[in-house]
């Protein structure tokens, strides 16, 4: 089995861990090279200006999580809440795809309710036009609730990497402070639910945009 070059994309630091952290950890264990690409600078403020995560705090959390997963971390530095679908965003992703000869991409669900998540995947689709496999992880917790249907088409058994996924997620202390420990419990419950559907302990589930090669 040849090793693969994998790109896991998230609009914000922690999106990849929530959506496909177990799958990413499995790739790393299998010897694949994985890049975690975050679109935005990891700071976050409310509309009233209240700072929920400083850039320093966010950067440390992002790097610690990448270390737990064993991936290379790249941050494209777009503004949080203002990720564009533009020539700039497409070319920035395109450059990473070409430089690292990417075989497979994991990204947000196309109909996720967060504008940054949606535009990220629009940009990924344009940039990844020649990439063999593109899979979309589930609507993001906690903000991605949507009223169109996610198609649970492709499952990855993450029983062996579940602890790494949760350990990586827990590096985002500012997010857990913001959303509470129920947020972590919900991520765990989803993995358990998807695992039960395929008769394993834990799983992650994806909707397929393109599946032309071995993953």
Enumerate binding residues for Zn ion (CB under 5 A).
11-12, 15
Residue with smallest beta-carbon separation from Zn ion? 12
Q: Which is nearer to Zn ion, 120 or 200 (CB)?
A: 120
Report how far residue 214's alpha carbon sits from residue 43's, in angstroms, rounded to the nearest whole number.
36
- Taking the C-alpha atoms of 100, 120, 105 and 202 in order, what is their torsion angle to the nearest 10 degrees? 130
What is the phi/psi pair of residue 154, to 5°?
A: -135, 125
Q: How far apart are the first and last CA of the chain?
A: 11
Of the CA atoms within 13 Å of residue 119, those in its CB half-sphere come to: 21
CB of 42 to Zn ion, least distance (A): 11
Is the Cβ of residue 109 or residue 162 nearer to Zn ion in the bound state?
109
Query: Quick one: CA dihedral 72, 78, 84, 89, positive or negative?
Result: negative
Question: Taking the complex as a whole, how short is the minimal distance between the CB of residue 118 and Zn ion, in angstroms?
Answer: 11
Token couple for 74: 């790249």
Smallest gap from residue 212 Cβ to Zn ion (A): 27
Residue closer to Zn ion by CB (options 12, 194) is 12
In what helix (H) or strand (E) does residue 81 lie, and over which residues does it extend?
Answer: none
User: C-beta of 57: minimal distance to Zn ion in Å?
Assistant: 16
β partners of residue 211? 133
Least separation in angstroms between CB 120 and Zn ion? 9
Integer Cα distance of 117 and 89 in angstroms: 13
Nearest distance from C-beta of residue 140 to Zn ion, angstroms: 5
Spatial separation of the C-alpha atoms in residues 154 and 83, rounded to whole Å: 27
Q: Smaller CB distance to Zn ion: residue 11 or 65?
A: 11
Q: Name the residue nearer to Zn ion (CB basis): 51 or 198.
A: 51
With respect to Zn ion, which residue has the nearer C-beta, 98 or 182?
182
| 134 bridge partner residues | 105, 210
């Amino acid at each position: 089995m040849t090793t693969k070059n994998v790109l896991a994309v998230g609009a914000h630091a922690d999106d990849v861990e929530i959506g496909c952290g177990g799958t990413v950890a499995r790739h790393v264990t299998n010897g694949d090279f994985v890049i975690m690409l975050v679109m935005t600078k990891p700071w976050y403020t409310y509309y009233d200006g209240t700072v929920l995560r400083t850039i320093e705090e966010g950067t440390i959390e992002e790097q610690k999580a990448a270390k737990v997963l064993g991936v290379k971390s790249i941050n494209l530095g777009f503004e949080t809440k203002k990720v564009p679908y533009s020539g700039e965003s497409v070319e920035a992703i395109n450059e990473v795809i070409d430089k690292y000869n990417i075989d497979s991409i994991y990204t947000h669900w196309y109909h996720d309710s967060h504008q940054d998540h949606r535009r990220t995947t629009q940009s990924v689709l344009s940039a990844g036009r020649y990439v063999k496999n593109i899979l979309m992880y589930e609507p993001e917790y906690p903000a991605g609730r949507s009223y169109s249907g996610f198609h649970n088409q492709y499952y990855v058994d993450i029983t062996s990497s579940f602890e790494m996924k949760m350990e990586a997620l827990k590096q985002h202390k500012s997010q857990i402070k913001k959303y509470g420990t129920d947020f972590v419990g919900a991520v765990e419950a989803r993995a358990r639910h998807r695992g039960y559907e395929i008769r394993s302990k834990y799983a992650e589930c994806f909707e397929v945009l393109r599946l032309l090669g071995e993953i």
